Amino acid sequence: MFLLLLGVVLLGVTSTAAMFPRSCVENVTRFPVVCCPEYKGSPCGASSNRGSCMPVSSSRAVSDPDVEIDDRHLFPSHYFNYTCQCKFNYSGPNCGGCIHNHYGENCENVNYVTRREIRELSVKEREEWFAQLHQCKYKIDPDYMMMVSGDRFRTEAYEFRPASFINIWSAMHNYVTRMFINNTRENNILNFGHGSTGFLTFHRAYMSELERSLQRCTKNANFSLVYYDWRNDSDCAICNDDFMGGNNVHGYISPYSVFYSWRTICSEYYMGGTYCIMSTCECEHPKITRKPGATPGLGMPNKLDVDYCLGLSSLDTSPYTSASMRSFRNCLEGFRNRFENPATSMHNLFHAYCGGTMSQVAIASNDPIFVLHHCFLDKIFDIYIRRWNLNENSYPPNTIYGHQPTDCILPFLPCRKHREMCTPIRKFGVIYSTYNSF
């Protein structure tokens, strides 16, 4: 049932924007280095007027004077002192590709893909989608590498390894969610992807990156993600072997599911001062676990929660943290409920409800149900943007480091600023289906 499928190349697959291009990090032991790969004989396709090789500092937000040693500070300056800045709709580490779902000589055309609710897929379509996902869990990405390190404080401890398309994507989440290093100490107040306004825009970029990577992996420009609309479900309707896999009493995924064999990466995240430390032997990586509904007192988020969030007029409010009141972002992220009380709700609640791998922030994206959950959250974000007529200038004047409007979203190359993602997703060639319409 889960035979690997041949992807159909219809329009050419757009370029990706992951963090460590193989051409810039392979066999490199001392950083920073220049990361301006050639396209048609010139760095960043300069001779084709696609981009320029520019100093990293010229495209980054103002430095935070209190941050020391954190290699993500003003990313990617710790690794690369020059990177490509692409023009128009060009993208990729060498500006040789196009932004998401664009194609053509000048990336002027858009190939719209529709993200559907998983229950809208026929049995055949669903099995094909699972097979493609499974293929990309094991197929090595030829263009990018993942970084592991047992010591975040020492550059010489950084090691770059080949990895699959999905594992590289999962490693990004671990990288972004590791604690801040502030004045040589780890500080777990918030991270680059959660706890402030950038939660919305980071995850939008993160899900787009997965979709783009899977299009490259399957060689199918029409591949699209799917979502799970949980608003009217009292329990997880897709946590069974027909969909995302059931689980046994120990929390392990059922052997009748394609995801039974999936193992996590970066699972030793709890070790301080590390990045994705793990054994090189896959057999030592823990399997995905999930126990939906097993924690007493934790239910599913619902339609009333979603409707309340969508009715809030402010995208985010000061202090732009989990303490923000009447904030769409804080409501959707799930630090306050629809009664404006501090509580686990919405995004956070579904993660906690699933339990196991999904309930552990640093490694949650190892569970494929993460994809369906966050696609639905992005659909809600898109509905909010269109309902309140938001645009790039609607991104609030956030002063939280790493979440400011002009901060580059970690860990993408070329730079994507947070405010640039605050626009209807149709701009990026994505349409959400109207399943169970709002």
3 state DSSP class of 147: strand
Q: If we measure between CA atoms, which residue out of 17, 416, 9 comes closest to residue 212? A: 17
pLDDT score recorded for residue 183: 73
Helix, strand, or coil (residue 304): helix
- At 271, the amino acid letter reads M
Residues sharing a CB contact under 8 Å with residue 150, sequence separation 6 or more, in sequence order: 157, 271, 274, 277
Question: Packing angle between helix 198-218 and helix 165-177, nearest 10 degrees?
Answer: 160
> CA–CA separation, 375 vs 361, rounded Å?
17
Question: Whole-angstrom Cα distance, residue 279 to residue 421?
Answer: 36
Residue-wise pLDDT tens digits, 292-322: 999 999 999 999 999 999 999 999 999 999 9
Q: Give the C-alpha separation, 244 to 254, whole Å.
A: 10
Spatial distance between the Cα atoms of 325 and 388, rounded to a whole number of angstroms = 18
Residue 58, pLDDT score: 52
CB-count exposure of residue 95 (10 Å: 0-12, 13-18, 19+):
buried
Q: Which strand ranges, in their side-by-side order, compose the sheet holding 33-35?
A: 33-35, 80-86, 51-55
Residue carrying the six token digits 């990045």: 275
Nearest to 137 by CA among 164, 119, 106: 164
What CA–CA distance (Å, rounded) separates 313 from 327? Answer: 8
pLDDT for 4 = 38
Cβ–Cβ under 8 Å, residues 407 and 418: yes
**CB-based contact 368:23 (threshold 8 Å):** no
Rounded Cα–Cα distance for residues 259 and 369 (Å) = 10
Burial (0-12, 13-18, 19+ Cβ within 10 Å), 214? buried
The structure tokens listed for 400 are: 């939280």
Give the chain's residues under pLDDT 70: 1-17, 58-67, 188-189
- Rounded CA separation 371/377 (Å): 10
Distance CA 378, CA 223 (A): 17
Tokens of 299: 């239910």
Q: How far apart are CA 411 and CA 363, in angstroms?
A: 16
Residue 48, phi then psi, degrees to nearest 5? -100, 5
CB 330 within 8 A of CB 336: yes
DSSP annotation string for 217-249: HHT-TT---EE---TT-SS-TT-STTTT--B-T
* Threshold 0.85, pTM exceeds: yes
- Which pLDDT belongs to residue 8? 40
How far apart (Å, rounded) are the C-alpha atoms in residues 396 and 355?
Answer: 33
Per-domain boundaries in the chain: 117-432
What letter does residue 86 receive in the DSSP assignment? E
Domain 117-432 - what CATH class? Answer: mainly alpha
pLDDT for 112 = 97
- Name the residue among 53, 324, 80, 37 with its Cα closest to residue 190: 324
pLDDT digits (tens, 9 = 90+) for 227-277: 999 999 999 999 999 999 999 999 999 999 999 999 999 988 888 788 898
Contact 291, 298 (CB under 8 A): no
Q: Are 14 and 100 in contact (CB under 8 A)?
A: yes
Cβ burial, residue 375 (10 Å; 0-12/13-18/19+) = buried
Cis peptide before 55 (omega within 30 of 0): no
- What DSSP string runs through 167-199? HHHHHHHHHHHSPEEETTEEE-S--SSSSSTHH
pLDDT tens digit string along 6-37? Answer: 334 445 555 666 789 999 999 998 899 999 99
Element (DSSP H or E) covering residue 306:
helix 303-310
The reported pLDDT for the residue numbered 2 is: 37
What's the pLDDT score for residue 197? 98
User: What type of residue sits at position 318?
Assistant: S
